[in-house]
Structure 1
Amino acid sequence: MSAATYENADRKPGPKKTTKKTTKTTGLNKTGPRKPDPKETGGPKKTGPKKTRVTALLAARAARTHRKAWAAVFAALALTSLLLGAFTLALASAGLGHARVERYADADLVVTGDQNTRFTAKPWGSKPETATAGLTERVRVPRAALKTVRAVPGVRSAIADEVFQAGVEGTRTTGRPWDAARLGSYSLREGAAPRQASEVVVGEGTARVGERVTVRVAGTDATYRVTGVAEGPRDAAYFTSAEARRLAGHPGSVAAVGVTAAPGTSTSDLYARVRHALDAAGLHGVGHRADGDGAGLHVLTGNGRGGAEFLGAAPARSGMLALLGSVMATVVLIALLVVSSTVVQALQQRSRELGLLRAVGATPRQLRGAVGREVGRVAAGAALVGAVAAVPAYLALRTLLDARGALPPGLELPLPPWLLPAPLVTAGLTLLVARVAALIACARTTKVRPAEALREAAPGNARRITGLVLLFIGASSAATATLQHGEAAAAAAGAAAVVLVIGCALLGPWIAEGAMRVLGGPLRRHGGPAGHLAAANCTASARRLGAALTPIILVTAFVSVQLAAGATMTHAAGDQAEKAARADYAVTAAGGLPKGTLERIRATPGVRAATAVTRGTVVLARRETGSPRLDRLPVLGVTPEGLSRTLDPAVREGGLSALRPGTVAVGRDQARDLDVRPGSKVTLRFGDGVEARLKVVATYDRELALGAFLFSRDQLLRHTSAPGPDRILVAAADTATTSLRAAAPGARVTADPAPERLDPEDRALGEVVTVAAVGAVGGFTVIAVLSTLSLITIGRRPELALLRLAGAGRDQLRRMLRLEAAATALTGLVVGAAVASFPLLAFSLSTARTIPHLPLPQAALIALTVAATTAAGTLVPSWPVLRGRYPAR
Structure 2
Amino acid sequence: MSRAVRLLAARSLRAHRSAWTAVFVAVAVTSALLGALALALGSAGLGHARVDRYAAAPVVVAGDQEVRWTTTPWGDGPATVSTELTERVRVPRAAVDVVRAVPGVRAAVPDETFTVRLAGTAAVRPADRTADRPDGGVRTYPGRSWEAAALAPYGLREGREPRTADEAVVGAGLGLMVGGTVREPGRGSAGYRVVGVAEGPAALYVTGAEARARAGRPGAVDAVGVLAEPGVAVDTLHARVRAALDRAGLEDTASGQPLRALTGDGRGGAEHLGAAPARSALLEMLAAVSGTVVLVAVLVLASLVAQALRQRAPERELLRAVGATPRQVRAAAGREVTRVAGTAAVLGALGAVPLFLGLWETLGARPGVVPDGLELPVPAWLFTAVFAAAAVTAGVTRLVVPFAVGRADSAGGDRSGRGRVRPTVGIVLLLAGLASAGAASLQGGEAAAAAAGTATVTLVAGCAVLGPWLARAALWVLARPMRRLGGAPGRLTAAGADAHGRRLGAALTPVVLVTAFALVQLTAGTTVGRAAETQARAATTARLEFTGTTAEEVRTRPGVGAATDVLRSTVVLARRAAGEPRLDRLPVLGVDAAGLRGTLDPGVVAGDLTGLEAPGTVAVGAATADSLDLRPGSAVTLRYGDGAQAELRVVAVYERSLALGEFLLPKAALAPHMTDPAPSRVLAAGLPGTLPDRAAVPAPERVELPGAELNGIVSASVVSAIGGLTLLSVLSTLALIGAGRRGELRLLRQVGATAGQLRRMFALEAGFLTGTGLLVGLVVAALPLTAFARSFTGGLPYLPPSWAGLVAGTVAVTVTAGVLLSHRARGTSG
Identity %: 53
Q: Which moved more, 1:353-362 or 1:621-630?
A: 621-630
Counterparts of 1:217 and 1:150, CA distance in 2:
38
SS at match of 1:139: coil
SS at match of 1:194: coil
Counterparts of 2:711 and 2:413, CA distance in 1:
51
Pair 127,461 (structure 1): closer, same or farther in 2 beyond 3 Å: closer
Which residue in the other structure is 1:185 paired with? 153
Q: CA deviation at 1:307?
A: 0.6
Which residue in the other structure is 2:92 paired with? 142
Which residue in the other structure is 2:314 paired with? 352
Q: Is the 8 A contact 2:306 2:404 kept in 1?
A: yes
Q: Give 1:778's aligned amino acid.
A: G
Say whether residues 1:635 and 2:588 are aligned partners: yes
Q: Where does 1:27-38 land on structure 2 (aligned, <5 Å)?
A: none
Q: Give 2:171's aligned amino acid.
A: G
Which residue in the other structure is 1:8 paired with? none
Counterparts of 1:171 and 1:760, CA distance in 2:
21
Which residue in the other structure is 2:42 paired with? 92
- Select the residue among 620, 626, 631 that pairs with 2:573: 620
- Select the residue among 834, 837, 857 that pairs with 2:782: 837
Pair 76,850 (structure 1): closer, same or farther in 2 beyond 3 Å: same
Say whether residues 1:414 and 2:359 are aligned partners: no
Say whether residues 1:559 and 2:518 are aligned partners: yes
Counterparts of 2:66 and 2:76, CA distance in 1:
24
Counterparts of 2:590 and 2:417, CA distance in 1:
66
Which residue in the other structure is 1:599 paired with? 555
Q: Is the 8 A contact 1:355 1:454 kept in 2?
A: no
Which residue in the other structure is 1:285 paired with? 252
Q: CA deviation at 1:86?
A: 2.0
Q: Give 2:556's aligned amino acid.
A: R
Q: Give 2:820's aligned amino acid.
A: L
- Select the residue among 702, 705, 714 that pairs with 1:760: 705
Q: CA deviation at 1:808?
A: 4.1
Q: Is the 8 A contact 1:387 1:427 kept in 2?
A: yes
Say whether residues 1:222 and 2:190 are aligned partners: yes
Counterparts of 2:527 and 2:706, CA distance in 1:
18
Q: CA deviation at 1:594?
A: 5.3
Q: CA deviation at 1:154?
A: 0.7
SS at match of 2:568: strand
Q: Is the 8 A contact 1:186 1:232 kept in 2?
A: yes
- Select the residue among 571, 574, 588 that pairs with 2:547: 588
Q: Where does 1:693-708 land on structure 2 (aligned, <5 Å)?
A: 693-708=647-662
Q: CA deviation at 1:351?
A: 1.2
Q: Deviations over 1:271-304 (max 9, x none)?
A: 1111111222222212x225xxxx1211110101
Which residue in the other structure is 1:19 paired with? none
Say whether residues 1:432 and 2:395 are aligned partners: yes
Q: Give 2:696's aligned amino acid.
A: T
Q: Deviations over 1:190-222 (max 9, x none)?
A: 333323322222233635434432332885552
Q: Is the 8 A contact 2:417 2:468 kept in 1?
A: no
Counterparts of 1:110 and 1:546, CA distance in 2:
63
Which residue in the other structure is 1:110 paired with? 60
Q: CA deviation at 1:724?
A: 2.1
Which residue in the other structure is 2:462 paired with? 503
Q: Deviations over 1:662-711 (max 9, x none)?
A: 11111111111221211111111111111111111111111111111111
- Select the residue among 382, 393, 396 that pairs with 2:358: 396
Counterparts of 1:528 and 1:763, CA distance in 2:
56
Q: Where does 1:456-495 land on structure 2 (aligned, <5 Å)?
A: 459-495=418-454
Which residue in the other structure is 1:653 paired with? 606
Pair 534,850 (structure 1): closer, same or farther in 2 beyond 3 Å: same
Q: Give 1:380's aligned amino acid.
A: G
- Select the residue among 759, 765, 772 that pairs with 2:717: 772
Counterparts of 1:804 and 1:679, CA distance in 2:
80
Which residue in the other structure is 1:362 paired with? 324
Which residue in the other structure is 1:750 paired with? 696
Q: Is the 8 A contact 1:637 1:713 kept in 2?
A: yes
Counterparts of 1:256 and 1:103, CA distance in 2:
11
Q: Deviations over 1:589-623 (max 9, x none)?
A: 2xxx158314314xx33x34322221111111123
Q: Give 2:49's aligned amino acid.
A: A
Counterparts of 1:694 and 1:778, CA distance in 2:
45
Q: Give 2:823's aligned amino acid.
A: S
Counterparts of 2:261 and 2:544, CA distance in 1:
46
Q: Give 2:385's aligned amino acid.
A: A
* RMSD between aligned residues: 2.2
Which residue in the other structure is 1:11 paired with? none
Q: CA deviation at 1:781?
A: 1.8
Q: Is the 8 A contact 1:562 1:770 kept in 2?
A: no
SS at match of 2:556: helix
Counterparts of 2:17 and 2:514, CA distance in 1:
26
Counterparts of 1:462 and 1:122, CA distance in 2:
39
Q: Give 2:215's aligned amino acid.
A: A
Say whether residues 1:67 and 2:17 are aligned partners: yes
Q: Is the 8 A contact 1:614 1:713 kept in 2?
A: yes
SS at match of 1:688: coil
Counterparts of 1:403 and 1:570, CA distance in 2:
25
Which residue in the other structure is 2:475 paired with? 516
Q: CA deviation at 1:805?
A: 4.4
Q: Deviations over 1:613-666 (max 9, x none)?
A: 211111111233443321111101111125242111111111001113211111
Q: Deviations over 1:376-395 (max 9, x none)?
A: 11122112112222222222
Q: Deviations over 1:546-572 (max 9, x none)?
A: 110001111111222122222211111
Pair 218,94 (structure 1): closer, same or farther in 2 beyond 3 Å: farther
Counterparts of 1:455 and 1:319, CA distance in 2:
47
Give 1 or 2 for the bigger CA radius of gyration: 1
Q: CA deviation at 1:445?
A: 4.9
Q: CA deviation at 1:103?
A: 0.6
Q: Is the 8 A contact 2:285 2:715 kept in 1?
A: no
Q: Is the 8 A contact 1:555 1:777 kept in 2?
A: no
- Select the residue among 260, 264, 271 that pairs with 2:238: 271
Q: Deviations over 1:118-151 (max 9, x none)?
A: 1111123332121112111111122221122111
Q: Which moved more, 1:418-427 or 1:666-675?
A: 418-427
SS at match of 1:442: helix
Say whether residues 1:722 and 2:676 are aligned partners: yes
Q: Give 2:261's aligned amino acid.
A: V
| Aligned residue-pair number | 810
Counterparts of 1:786 and 1:203, CA distance in 2:
59
Q: CA deviation at 1:875?
A: 1.1
- Select the residue among 31, 41, 44 that pairs with 1:81: 31
- Select the residue among 655, 665, 689 that pairs with 2:643: 689
TM-score scaled to structure 2, two decimals? Answer: 0.93
Counterparts of 2:188 and 2:103, CA distance in 1:
42
Q: Give 2:679's aligned amino acid.
A: P
Q: Is the 8 A contact 1:214 1:221 kept in 2?
A: no
Q: Is the 8 A contact 2:587 2:705 kept in 1?
A: yes
Which residue in the other structure is 2:214 paired with? 247
- Select the residue among 371, 378, 393 that pairs with 2:340: 378
Q: Which moved more, 1:311-320 or 1:190-199?
A: 190-199
Q: Is the 8 A contact 1:217 1:723 kept in 2?
A: no
Q: Give 1:825's aligned amino acid.
A: T
Counterparts of 1:481 and 1:595, CA distance in 2:
41
Which residue in the other structure is 2:125 paired with? none
Q: Which moved more, 1:109-118 or 1:164-173?
A: 164-173
Q: CA deviation at 1:361?
A: 2.4
Q: Which moved more, 1:148-157 or 1:221-230?
A: 221-230
